[in-house]
C-alpha cells in the first residue's frame, strides 16, 4: 500500500506571503522557507513585521481570497487522488489555507494554526508538532505504507528524507545546491512520470 505526501505552497498554490508582500508593498514579507531554513526564525520575523505595519488576519485573508491554484494544479491533484491517497502536509495555517483547499476540491490537509486576538491581530502561531512533515511520513511508514513525497523548500527536506521516494518540485537553486540528493522536477507531467515509475503505476 502506498500514500503520497506533498507540500502546498509553491506546489499547488502560489506562495501566500509573497502575494501579501506584493499587495501590501511590504517587501520584508517576501521571505519564505525557500530563503530561511529555520521556521521559527521565519515566523518570528513575519509576526514582527505584521505588528509593525498593523496588518491583521483579515488583511491577509483578503489577499488570499484573490488567489487561485497554480495552472494545472487542480487537474494534477485530481490525478494524484485517482492513483493513491494524498495528504497535503504544509507549514501554512488553517486560517490561511482553507479557502484555497476548497479550490483544490479539498484534499486532506495537515497544517498549523494561528493564535488571533479579538481585534484580528495575529499574536502567535501554534505548530501541530515540531518537524511535523518528517513525523507525518514516519507515522505513515509505521502503518506499513510506502510513502512518496514531494515539495519545493528547505522545510520539505525532512519529509523527503524520511520517505521511500522523495522529489523536489520547482525548487530554487539554493535548495537544490544544499540538497543535491533529491531528483528535481519542473512540471506536473515530469512529476507524474516520477510517481508512476516509483510506485509502479500503469
Could you list the active site residues? Answer: 7, 9
The C-alpha cell 484573490 sits at 66
Cα–Cα distance measured from residue 60 to residue 155, given in angstroms and rounded to the nearest whole number: 22
Transcribe 19-84 into DSSP letters.
Answer: HHHHHHT-GGGG--TTT-S-HHHHHHHHHHHHHHHT--HHHHHHHHTT--PPTTHHHHHHHHHHHS
> Cβ(142)–Cβ(159) under 8 Å?
no
Amino acid at each position: 500500500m502506498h500514500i503520497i505526501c506533498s507540500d502546498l505552497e509553491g506546489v499547488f498554490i502560489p506562495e501566500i506571503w509573497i502575494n501579501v508582500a506584493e499587495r501590501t508593498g511590504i517587501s520584508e514579507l517576501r521571505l519564505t522557507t525557500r530563503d530561511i531554513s529555520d521556521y521559527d526564525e521565519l515566523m518570528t520575523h513575519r509576526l514582527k513585521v505584521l505588528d509593525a505595519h498593523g496588518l491583521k488576519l483579515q488583511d491577509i485573508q483578503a489577499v488570499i481570497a484573490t488567489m487561485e491554484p497554480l495552472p494545472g494544479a487542480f487537474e494534477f491533484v485530481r490525478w494524484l487522488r485517482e492513483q493513491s491517497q494524498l495528504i497535503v502536509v504544509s507549514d501554512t495555517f488553517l486560517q490561511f489555507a482553507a479557502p484555497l483547499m476548497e479550490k483544490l476540491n479539498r484534499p486532506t490537509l495537515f497544517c498549523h494554526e494561528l493564535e488571533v486576538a479579538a481585534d484580528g491581530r495575529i499574536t502567535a502561531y501554534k505548530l501541530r508538532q515540531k518537524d511535523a512533515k518528517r513525523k507525518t511520513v514516519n507515522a505513515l511508514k509505521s502503518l506499513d505504507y510506502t510513502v512518496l513525497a514531494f515539495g519545493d523548500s528547505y522545510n520539505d527536506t525532512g519529509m523527503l528524507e524520511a520517505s521511500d521516494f522523495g522529489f523536489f518540485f520547482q525548487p530554487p537553486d539554493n535548495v537544490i545546491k544544499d540538497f543535491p540528493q533529491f531528483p528535481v522536477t519542473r512540471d506536473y507531467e515530469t512529476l507524474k512520470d516520477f510517481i508512476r515509475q516509483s510506485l509502479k503505476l500503469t
